[in-house]
Structure 1
Amino acid sequence: MKKLFSIPKQKSLKFQLLTRMFLLLILFLIIAEIFQYASLKHYLCKSKEQVLESRMHNISKTMMNLYSKEDIISNADELVENSVDFGIASSVIDSDGNVVSSKSNYKHGAPAPQLTQNDYKTIMHQKGNLEGYALIKNTYGNLDLVIWRKIGDLHSSSGLVQLSTEADPIMSILYKQLSTYIFACIIILILGVIIGGAVLKHTLNPLYNMTSTVKQITPQELNKRLPVNNKQLEIDSLSMAFNGMLERIETSFKKENAIKKKMQQFISDASHELRTPLTSIRGFVEVLLMGAAKDEKKLNTALNSILTESERLTELVNELLILTRLDRKTELEMSKQNMKSIIEDIYPQLKILSKDRKINLILNEDMYFLGNKNQVKQVIFNIVQNAINHTNEKYGIITISLESQIIDNKNLLVLKISDNGTGIAEDDLNKIFDRFFRSESHRSRQHGGYGLGLPIVKSIIDAHKGKIDVKSTLGKGTIFYIYLTTM
């Protein structure tokens, strides 16, 4: 069976605020009416009570000081006549709770209200002279306002005088006042909804404007910002939070675009670098297949060339694998290491790599840090290999030094590797850690490398939460500074 009406699950903020304001207004009006109704009722009843009290004062003290049942019965009619008046009923009750005399001058001829014997006895046994009033239904079912006074001793009453008057005029006034109040409340609620809706709409305008602005924001317009001078603390706070979020999104988009460009460049460069040795290998194999294999000299040349290109291809693949592992940011096995011992361990291998170049070590003392020994060796190998590629084979000098510095209240280990090679142009200093980057002066194959050595160095140092810096002068040489936290 289809539903005839469907109530939306989500309601607007304006609707919710207006509804809650409407409910609060109703609650306040109800509370105010209850208080007003009770106050007016008490005031009107007190006025009636004072009228009855004035009639009670017409009874002489002698008549109120009767101490025997017989005296009360014999004087009951006189007591009633002295207290009764227009609109007032009077009754005299003996000590047994019996009504011995009663007279009513009610407008509609209703009799005086009458309680049970036990009720009257209970009233007589109450302390004091029974100040106050009570509302009781008479035999016609109408409300009467009733007061009582004791006859005789206050502590051992011999009877009661009961005066009552009709309470219907009081209830009529209360009902009239209540109907007037309800009508006024309806008018107030209608005006409240109209005026409140207009005020809420004006108050929520900054929020509507914010929503409109946010809807207009596209990936191409992330530089848009929301106004923060709405003169509403909450809206301004929300605008500032949104602006902060937009700024972070814009930054993320820029970074993502930059990463995409770098990735595209990386794939392009990697494809090119992989294709070059593969093309060479394919060319030499085709030469061999065309008959060069029968010539021993050509065969050796071709095989040596294939071996060289295969080694270069293997080196490139290995470097790409290293970068891939570093990019994954896998947890490194870190332990306490001595940088001086690491440098001394690989010094013989560095000497072999450098050939006739001179390698100087300036290692004064042991210096410890938390790191991965093999990866730190990789860093030193890559930087020294870079220095070897760009220094003169006979006159090249590579210096590896170790010292300690305090920077920003931190005790740091500083590994410095310098050379007297060709240097790096100032415009290229910020690019040397980009993958496959090689300056124009270093693109010749005689320098070797694919532009991956220094990016590997940067990734390893970052994984060690360290810092790497470089200074260089064309024609004079380059200095790499590596900063690691000591232990």
Structure 2
Amino acid sequence: MLRRKLKIKSLKWQLLFRFLMILIILLGAMGIFQYISMKEYLYRTKVQVLQQRFHNLDFGVLSKENIKDITESDSKEILKKLKDKNMSTALIDKNGDLLLEIRNVDAPEDDNDRDEDFKELFEKKIKAIPVPVLSKEHYMNLCNEKGNLETIYEIVEDENCNFQLVAWIKVGDLDLPSGLIQLSTPIEDIQAILNQQVYVHTTLSMVILIIGTLLGTTIFKRTLKPLYNITNTVEGINITDLDKRLPEENGQLETDRLAKSFNIMLKRIESSFQKEQYIKEKMRRFVSDASHELRTPLTSIHGFVEVLLRGAAKNQDQLNLALNSILMESERLAKLVNDLLVLTKLDQQLIVEMNTENINNVIEEIFPQLQILCKNRKLKLELKNNIMVYINRNQIKQVIFNLTQNAVLHTDKNNGIITISTSIESLKDETFAVLKIIDNGTGIPKEHLSKIYDRFFRSDSHRSREHGGYGLGLSIVKSIIDSNNGEIHVESELKVGTTFSVYFKLAK
């Protein structure tokens, strides 16, 4: 039952079923049209034969004003000329009364002929064909018809319940006829021809349907083969085969579009999966690095507490050393937690309140704190007047502070030079305000330049730890600049120095 339902729902069988339905409708319509056309043709031919018989009449006798004035002998003579073994004749007056009828086996006037005719009819067992009789009103309506009724005929059922084709001709004046002559003939031969035609057409239709079913099954199977190939390929794709693509040149427009759509979908799935894997890997590394960085100050604090509990608290020098170390590690721990909270907020992509600001004023506002941060290092400002940008003031202060702190960590305590400059430059055919932090420090290896914005990445692990760095400063800088619709570029050379360039859109 399930296989039967699946077979019915199959596209191939649905197409085949609809194809056969269309074929049946077309064959049926063609058969009906052919049947009606053939029937009309045969009837018309029969009528022409009957009309041809009317040409044997003596119109001189028939031209009398009243058909009743024609003698019985003249009437029989007139009808005898129309007589045929497959026809019956009748004479009707203008009032619709039947005056005389002659059937196809009526006895002839001559006795010798009568015996011979009846003997022949008996031997052939031919039954007389009765004359179909219509109502008086019908005959009167025919008399009132225009013309000589050459194209008018009817199919009438006789007293033997057989159908005959009946034709008429007017007697006398065409406009005021004195009566009608009726000529009728059976239509069994026409019906036999029509039945034979129906039988032949039905047989040929069945043969055509059988051939159509066989050819349709083969053709539809071959036509749907690209679709089956797509189905099999898609079913065989798993998480390790997301780079697999379907052929887009199958010779069928619809199938090609379907394959192209599947390829676009697979590309998106592959991209999403790779992105998910990348995020998972970054999260794993983040958790691992964060755990490691948190463990270091916590272990140090725990160690000093144990020392104090063992009696170091009684020694003033040891007490001061332990408390200072605990304070320093707790500050480092607090800074790490605060940086992580900042990154978490930035990752949430919250709406940032931005205003038109003078970038030089922002730098000058935090310049005293930057001097304290640089200590003995030389801090220089090279600011171009009135550079208006559209930024979040407080966030950009943190960017400047973090980049300056990064320069401090990588420059000599006494000979270090840090320069903060602003200017207007062109980038990608657009004009930007540029903030640069330049140092003459140790520089960054080229292979590390693409990783410096990763969280917990440190090019020089020992130097960073000595100065309290955790590799989060540049990650925060990158996230803030992205949220302010800016760009950051870095240029560095070992033992020469590093330049961070931050590009902001100018305020309109």
Same fold (TM over 0.5): yes
Match of residue 293, structure 1, among 310, 313, 320: 313
Q: CA deviation at 1:390?
A: 1.5
Match of residue 239, structure 2, among 219, 222, 246: 219
1:114 aligns with 2:133: yes
Partner SS state of residue 324, structure 1: helix
CA separation of 1:71/1:295 partners in 2, compared to 1, >3 Å: closer, same or farther?
Answer: farther
Aligned partner letter, 2:470: Y
Partner SS state of residue 220, structure 1: coil
**Mapping of 1:143-182 within 5 angstroms?**
143-182=163-202
Partner SS state of residue 184, structure 2: strand
CA separation of 1:98/1:305 partners in 2, compared to 1, >3 Å: closer, same or farther?
Answer: farther
Q: CA deviation at 1:472?
A: 0.6
User: Which residue is equivalent to 1:378?
Assistant: 398
Partners of 2:160 and 2:298 in 1: CA distance = 118
Aligned partner letter, 2:94: S
Aligned partner letter, 1:310: S
1:445 aligns with 2:443: no
User: Which residue is equivalent to 2:108?
Assistant: none
Larger mean Cα displacement after TM superposition, 274-283 or 300-309: 300-309
CA separation of 1:412/1:92 partners in 2, compared to 1, >3 Å: closer, same or farther?
Answer: farther
User: Which residue is equivalent to 1:246?
Assistant: 266
User: Which residue is equivalent to 1:316?
Assistant: 336
CA separation of 1:80/1:269 partners in 2, compared to 1, >3 Å: closer, same or farther?
Answer: same
Larger mean Cα displacement after TM superposition, 339-348 or 472-481: 339-348
Partner SS state of residue 240, structure 2: helix
Partners of 2:3 and 2:279 in 1: CA distance = 52
Aligned partner letter, 1:201: K
1:53 aligns with 2:51: yes
User: Which residue is equivalent to 1:262?
Assistant: 282
Partner SS state of residue 433, structure 1: coil
Aligned partner letter, 1:23: M
CA separation of 1:408/1:110 partners in 2, compared to 1, >3 Å: closer, same or farther?
Answer: farther
User: Which residue is equivalent to 2:434?
Assistant: 414
Residues 89 and 104, structure 1, Cα contact 8 Å, conserved in 2: yes
Match of residue 204, structure 1, among 206, 224, 246: 224
User: Which residue is equivalent to 2:498?
Assistant: 478
Partners of 1:294 and 1:334 in 2: CA distance = 55
Partners of 1:64 and 1:372 in 2: CA distance = 121
Partner SS state of residue 377, structure 1: helix
Partners of 2:311 and 2:8 in 1: CA distance = 82
Partners of 1:462 and 1:54 in 2: CA distance = 104
Partners of 2:182 and 2:360 in 1: CA distance = 115
Larger mean Cα displacement after TM superposition, 264-273 or 241-250: 241-250
CA separation of 1:10/1:362 partners in 2, compared to 1, >3 Å: closer, same or farther?
Answer: farther
Partners of 1:122 and 1:358 in 2: CA distance = 129
CA separation of 1:31/1:324 partners in 2, compared to 1, >3 Å: closer, same or farther?
Answer: same
User: Which residue is equivalent to 2:293?
Assistant: 273
User: Which residue is equivalent to 1:105?
Assistant: 104
Query: C-alpha offsets along residues 169-225 of structure 1, whole Å, 9 cap, x if unaligned?
Result: 112111111112111211211121112212222233333333333333222233333
Cα RMSD (Å) of the superposition?
2.8
Q: CA deviation at 1:20?
A: 1.6
Aligned partner letter, 2:45: S
CA separation of 1:341/1:125 partners in 2, compared to 1, >3 Å: closer, same or farther?
Answer: farther
Aligned partner letter, 2:337: V
Partners of 2:357 and 2:33 in 1: CA distance = 83
Aligned partner letter, 2:104: N
Residues 237 and 244, structure 2, Cα contact 8 Å, conserved in 1: yes
Residues 88 and 129, structure 2, Cα contact 8 Å, conserved in 1: no
1:362 aligns with 2:382: yes
Partners of 2:143 and 2:383 in 1: CA distance = 115
Residues 357 and 391, structure 2, Cα contact 8 Å, conserved in 1: yes
Partners of 2:391 and 2:144 in 1: CA distance = 98
User: Which residue is equivalent to 1:32?
Assistant: 30
Residues 96 and 135, structure 2, Cα contact 8 Å, conserved in 1: yes
Partners of 2:139 and 2:366 in 1: CA distance = 117
CA separation of 1:402/1:80 partners in 2, compared to 1, >3 Å: closer, same or farther?
Answer: farther
**Mapping of 1:389-408 within 5 angstroms?**
389-408=409-428
CA separation of 1:276/1:124 partners in 2, compared to 1, >3 Å: closer, same or farther?
Answer: farther
Partners of 1:414 and 1:348 in 2: CA distance = 22
Query: C-alpha offsets along residues 373-422 of structure 1, whole Å, 9 cap, x if unaligned?
Result: 33232222221221122122333332333333444443333332222222
Partners of 1:347 and 1:152 in 2: CA distance = 133
Q: CA deviation at 1:341?
A: 3.5
Q: CA deviation at 1:310?
A: 1.4
Residues 79 and 92, structure 1, Cα contact 8 Å, conserved in 2: no
Larger mean Cα displacement after TM superposition, 430-439 or 162-171: 162-171
CA separation of 1:134/1:361 partners in 2, compared to 1, >3 Å: closer, same or farther?
Answer: farther
User: Which residue is equivalent to 1:435?
Assistant: 455
1:134 aligns with 2:154: yes
Q: CA deviation at 1:140?
A: 3.0
Partner SS state of residue 423, structure 1: coil
CA separation of 1:51/1:69 partners in 2, compared to 1, >3 Å: closer, same or farther?
Answer: closer
Partner SS state of residue 221, structure 1: coil
Partner SS state of residue 9, structure 2: coil
Q: How many residues align?
A: 485
Aligned partner letter, 1:273: E
Residues 164 and 185, structure 2, Cα contact 8 Å, conserved in 1: yes
Partners of 2:452 and 2:325 in 1: CA distance = 29
Query: C-alpha offsets along residues 104-139 of structure 1, whole Å, 9 cap, x if unaligned?
Result: 328642322222223333333334433243323333
User: Which residue is equivalent to 2:92?
Assistant: 93
Partners of 1:411 and 1:272 in 2: CA distance = 43
User: Which residue is equivalent to 2:143?
Assistant: 124
Partner SS state of residue 299, structure 1: helix
Structure ID, larger Rg: 2
CA separation of 1:269/1:196 partners in 2, compared to 1, >3 Å: closer, same or farther?
Answer: same
Aligned partner letter, 2:39: K
Aligned partner letter, 1:84: K
CA separation of 1:111/1:308 partners in 2, compared to 1, >3 Å: closer, same or farther?
Answer: same
Aligned partner letter, 1:114: V
Partner SS state of residue 307, structure 1: helix
1:460 aligns with 2:476: no
Partners of 1:333 and 1:24 in 2: CA distance = 68
**Tell me, which stretches of 5 or more residues in structure 2 are unaligned?**
106-125
Residues 72 and 94, structure 1, Cα contact 8 Å, conserved in 2: no
Partner SS state of residue 504, structure 2: strand
Partners of 1:71 and 1:349 in 2: CA distance = 145
User: Which residue is equivalent to 2:111?
Assistant: none
Q: CA deviation at 1:360?
A: 3.0
Q: CA deviation at 1:6?
A: 7.2
